[in-house]
């Protein structure tokens, strides 16, 4: 039987699925541009004057990403880019809606939608750079400790007296002239690569079992060094930068990657105990942590500044099941509705149905990342894909949990929806790296023409 490139003599075919990606991308653009048009119709009674310019720019960025994937990563996952385009487009529409509401109250109010589109353009540029420059993700393993050092430097930059600046009580920003940037967003990507490289090198030692208790094999005492160091780093972020969300994200990320690398549930028990101890210590020693916990337990207590969470709860309740409709709510009643609380603003106007659809999109990003990890052929790629997927999962859980009063507020941004250049650029880079790994994982092995009974062919067939 004749064969073609990407096919196997037994009939197994490695499909690129770029046509499916393009179709889904068009659907996602309809969602983003349609939401932007709906905002203008609802508030101003007519289509926005810049609808074609905005829609053309958004479509151009997304089509550019699609073309780059076709050329440089033809076997990459076909679902990730359309999901990200839909979320980013919906976020831009909601930020524009909030801008119009602010301008209606104050003609000199700050607007954010145009800046967010510029940040998206920079994020797409970094996305393209990742796919063009990083042709093989495995080469990143050679720079394991370089990425670790870079992450440490990035985390320390906001603490410098000249460069660092404090905004809304958290010292996580650096200011360069009129621009401010949050280096911790880039640091989380560097940490994922560092964790993956380190765990691949030391997995065998860390997987050795120590004492067994209650049916669980706990790690040996001599192997607790890495998790202890990461615990101290996360506490340092909490103490010096007053950033509860990043502290939780960094430690949770390392703990999950450590468990995936070693397959020892004892690490989860030890890490969970350390996290609980650190959280309790932070609650006892730091007033801002006590305020967050107090607002979570009783937001209507006048001794706590809980106006944000109260307005968030009222707004989402008013949205109900199907929402008030885009432009029909009042997101200006929620402070920072364009950034930290954009999920609550979306809940008011799209209702429970709309926010559940958004959560499904985030769940699909995580699922596709974990699927990439499962089919990846090398341990380093598996851990990097897992870490990047877990980063999204933890960030969305922390943000949505805080806005809905499931857990205390942390101050993280909602990926691709919230206003914030640092987060948006970093998340586009994460998607680029995930697509690079998925392209390598889904690409036909070079020895695909071997015998159908060969070990490589059997592994491919099982995928």
- In tens, the pLDDT along 254-287 reads 999 999 998 888 888 888 888 888 888 888 887 7
Section 439-456 average pLDDT: 63
Residue 417: the pLDDT is 93
Section 184-197 average pLDDT: 92
Could you give the CA distance from residue 191 to residue 187 in angstroms, rounded to a whole number?
Answer: 6
Mean pLDDT of the chain: 86
Could you give the CA distance from residue 307 to residue 136 in angstroms, rounded to a whole number?
Answer: 49
Of the two residues 390 and 174, the one the predictor is more confident about is: 390
SS3 letters for 72-118? HCCCCCCCHHHHHHHHHHHHHHHHHHHHHHHHHHCCCCCCCHHHHHH
Which range among 110-119, 149-158, 216-225, 450-459 shows the weakest confidence by mean pLDDT? 450-459
Residue 230: the pLDDT is 85
Of the two residues 330 and 9, the one the predictor is more confident about is: 330
Residue 36: the pLDDT is 94
Residue 460: the pLDDT is 39
- Select, from the ranges 200-209, 299-308, 339-348, 446-455, the one with the highest average predicted confidence (pLDDT): 339-348
Structure tokens at 38: 């709906």
Residue 449: the pLDDT is 41
Confidence band of 373 (pLDDT split at 50, 70, 90): very high
**pLDDT of 152 above 70:** yes
Of the two residues 215 and 336, the one the predictor is more confident about is: 336
Residue 12: the pLDDT is 39
**pLDDT of 8 above 80:** no
Section 88-110 average pLDDT: 90
Which range among 65-74, 143-152, 154-163, 211-220 shows the weakest confidence by mean pLDDT? 211-220
Could you give the CA distance from residue 400 to residue 256 in angstroms, rounded to a whole number?
Answer: 20
How far apart, in Å, are the Cα atoms of 281 and each of 245, 289, 412? 16, 10, 21
Section 367-379 average pLDDT: 94
Residue 180: the pLDDT is 76
Residue 207: the pLDDT is 74
Residue 168: the pLDDT is 65
407 backbone dihedrals φ, ψ, rounded to 5°: -135, 170
Residue 190: the pLDDT is 94
Query: Is the Cβ–Cβ distance between 77 and 435 less than 8 Å?
Result: yes
Could you give the CA distance from residue 310 to residue 104 in angstroms, rounded to a whole number?
Answer: 24
Count of all residues that appear for the chain in the document:
463
Of the two residues 456 and 103, the one the predictor is more confident about is: 103
Query: Is the Cβ–Cβ distance between 256 and 208 less than 8 Å?
Result: no
Residue 209: the pLDDT is 63
Q: Is 407 left (phi over 0), alpha (psi -120 to 50) or beta?
A: beta
Confidence band of 165 (pLDDT split at 50, 70, 90): confident
Query: Is the Cβ–Cβ distance between 420 and 413 less than 8 Å?
Result: yes
**pLDDT of 210 above 70:** no
Q: Which residues contact 142 (CB under 8 A, 6 or more apart)?
A: none
Of the two residues 130 and 294, the one the predictor is more confident about is: 130
Residue 45: the pLDDT is 85
Q: Which residues contact 65 (CB under 8 A, 6 or more apart)?
A: 81, 85, 124, 127, 128
* DSSP bridge pairs for 444: none
**pLDDT of 452 above 70:** no
Section 81-88 average pLDDT: 96
Nearest to 185 by CA among 173, 195, 197: 173
| 0.75 exceeded by pTM | yes
Residue 430: the pLDDT is 96
Of the two residues 286 and 29, the one the predictor is more confident about is: 29
Nearest to 407 by CA among 301, 239, 293, 280: 293
Confidence band of 459 (pLDDT split at 50, 70, 90): very low
Confidence band of 98 (pLDDT split at 50, 70, 90): very high
Could you give the CA distance from residue 15 to residue 445 in angstroms, rounded to a whole number?
Answer: 13
Residue 443: the pLDDT is 86
How far apart, in Å, are the Cα atoms of 84 and each of 18, 165, 284? 16, 30, 40
Section 44-58 average pLDDT: 91
**pLDDT of 29 above 80:** yes
Residue 239: the pLDDT is 75
Q: Characterize the bridge pairing of strands 164-167 and 170-176.
A: antiparallel
Could you give the CA distance from residue 211 to residue 234 in angstroms, rounded to a whole number?
Answer: 27
SS3 letters for the chain? CCCCCCECCCCCECCCCHHHHHHHHHHHHHHHHHHHHHHHHHHHCCCCCCHHHHHHHHHHHHHHHHHHHHHHCCCCCCCHHHHHHHHHHHHHHHHHHHHHHHHHHCCCCCCCHHHHHHHHHHHHHHHHHHHHHCCCHHHHHHHHHHHHHHHHHHHHHHHCCCCEEEECCEEEEEEECCEEECHHHHHHHHHHHHHHHHHHHHHHHHCCEEEEECCEEEECHHHCHHHHHHHHHHHHHHHHCCCHHHHHHHHHHHHHHHHHHHCCHHHHHHHHHHHHHHHHHHHHHCHHHHHHHHHHHCCCCCCCCCHHHHHHHHHHHHHCCCCCCCCCCCHHHCCCCCCCCHHHHHHHHHHHHHHHHHHHHHHHHHHHHHHHHHHCCCHHHHHHHHHHHHHHHHHHHHHHHHHCCCCCCCCCCCCCCCCCHHHHHHHHHHHHHHHHHHHHHHCCCCCCCCCCCCHHHHHHHHC
**pLDDT of 6 above 50:** no
Residue 167's CB is within 10 A of a number of other CB atoms, namely 12
Residue 9: the pLDDT is 38
Of the two residues 213 and 49, the one the predictor is more confident about is: 49
Query: Is the Cβ–Cβ distance between 248 and 242 less than 8 Å?
Result: no
Please give the share of the chain, as a percent, with pLDDT higher than 70: 89
**pLDDT of 354 above 90:** yes
308 backbone dihedrals φ, ψ, rounded to 5°: -60, -50
**pLDDT of 77 above 80:** yes
Q: Is 264 left (phi over 0), alpha (psi -120 to 50) or beta?
A: beta
Residue 212: the pLDDT is 66
Of the two residues 68 and 157, the one the predictor is more confident about is: 68
């Amino acid at each position: 039987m004749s064969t073609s490139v990407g096919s196997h003599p037994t009939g197994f075919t490695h499909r690129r699925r770029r046509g499916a990606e393009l179709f889904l991308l068009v659907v996602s653009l309809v969602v983003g541009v349609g939401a932007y048009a709906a905002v203008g119709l609802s508030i101003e009674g007519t289509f926005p004057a810049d609808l074609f310019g905005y829609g053309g720019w958004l479509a151009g960025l997304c089509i550019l990403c699609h073309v780059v994937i076709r050329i440089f990563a033809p076997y990459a996952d076909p679902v990730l880019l359309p999901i990200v385009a839909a979320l980013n487009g919906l976020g831009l529409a909601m930020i524009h809606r909030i801008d119009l509401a602010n301008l209606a109250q104050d003609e000199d109010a700050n607007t954010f939608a145009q800046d967010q589109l510029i940040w998206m353009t920079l994020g797409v540029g970094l996305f393209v750079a990742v796919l063009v420059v990083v042709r093989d993700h495995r080469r990143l393993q050679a720079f394991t400790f370089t990425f670790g050092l870079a992450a440490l430097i990035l985390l320390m930059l906001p603490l410098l007296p000249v460069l660092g600046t404090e905004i809304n009580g958290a010292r996580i920003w650096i200011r360069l002239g009129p621009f401010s940037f949050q280096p911790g967003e880039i640091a989380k990507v560097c940490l994922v690569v560092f964790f993956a490289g380190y765990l691949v090198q030391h997995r065998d030692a860390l997987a050795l079992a120590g004492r067994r208790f209650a049916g669980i094999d706990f790690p040996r005492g001599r192997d607790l060094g890495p998790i202890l160091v990461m615990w101290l780093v996360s506490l340092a972020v909490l103490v010096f930068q007053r950033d509860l969300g990043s502290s939780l994200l960094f430690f949770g990320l390392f703990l999950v990657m450590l468990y995936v690398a070693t397959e020892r549930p004892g690490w989860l028990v030890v890490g969970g105990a350390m996290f609980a101890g650190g959280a309790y210590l932070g609650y006892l020693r730091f007033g801002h942590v006590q305020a967050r916990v107090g607002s979570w337990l009783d937001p209507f207590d006048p001794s706590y500044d809980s106006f944000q969470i109260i307005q968030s709860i009222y707004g989402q309740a008013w949205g109900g099941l199907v929402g008030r409709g885009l432009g029909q709510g009042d997101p200006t009643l929620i402070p920072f509705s364009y950034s930290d609380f954009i999920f609550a603003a979306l809940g008011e106007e799209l209702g429970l149905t709309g926010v559940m659809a958004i959560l499904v999109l985030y769940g699909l990003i995580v699922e596709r990342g974990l699927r990439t990890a499962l089919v990846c052929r090398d341990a380093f790629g598996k851990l990097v894909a897992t870490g990047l997927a877990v980063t999204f999962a933890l960030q969305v859980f922390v943000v949505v949990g805080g806005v809905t009063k499931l857990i205390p507020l942390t101050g993280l941004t909602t990926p691709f929806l919230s206003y914030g250049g640092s987060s948006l650029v970093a998340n586009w880079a994460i998607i680029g790296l995930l697509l690079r790994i998925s392209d390598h994982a889904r690409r036909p092995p070079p020895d695909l023409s071997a015998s159908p009974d060969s070990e490589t062919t059997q592994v491919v067939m099982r995928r």
